[in-house]
Structure 1
């Protein structure tokens, strides 16, 4: 019997249990579902491919955010330097005007 057919039988068994025809406790159903999930992941089916695709998109998003954050930090540093230069120029202007009024 093929493995896909076995999975269909297991799903039918769970469905029959949900309808009350076959009696399985919740722990047994949970264990069966867990083993089916693990088997699907191991078999490298579309679920695994989907998880890999999501992982790649999250990774690219994080890299993009890191690049934008570093660019924002550089812009902030430029702004701070510009403000310092403006402050020094203002102080120099004040010192020159005080010298000219005193002298």
Structure 2
């Protein structure tokens, strides 16, 4: 019996349990779902490709956020330096006008 047919039987069993025709406890259903997930990942089904695609999009978004955060930090440092220069220039102007 192929693995796909087994998965369909298991999904039908879970559906029948949800309808109240077959009685399975929640732990059994959770274990069955976990084994279905693992078997689909091992088979290299489109689910694993979808997960890989999501992983890549999350990774690229994280990198862009890190770059944006670094740029914000650099801009903040530039702003602090600019404010210091302004403060020094105003202090120099005050010293010149007092003398």
TM over 0.5: yes
Q: Deviation at 1:16?
A: 2.6
Q: Give the paired residue count.
A: 99
Distance of 2:76 and 2:25 partners within structure 1: 61
Which structure has the bigger radius of gyration?
1
Root-mean-square deviation (CA, aligned residues, Å) is: 2.0
Q: Secondary structure at the match of 2:23?
A: coil
Output the TM-score relative to the length of structure 1: 0.81
Q: Deviation at 1:102?
A: 7.1
Output the TM-score relative to the length of structure 2: 0.83
Summarize deviations over 1:45-102 as a string: whole Å, max 9, x none: 1111111111111111111011111111111111111111111111111111xxxx77
Distance 1:102 1:95, change over 3 A: closer
Runs of 4+ in 1 over 4 A off after TM superposition: none
Distance 1:26 1:78, change over 3 A: closer
Structure 1 gap segments, 5+ residues each: none
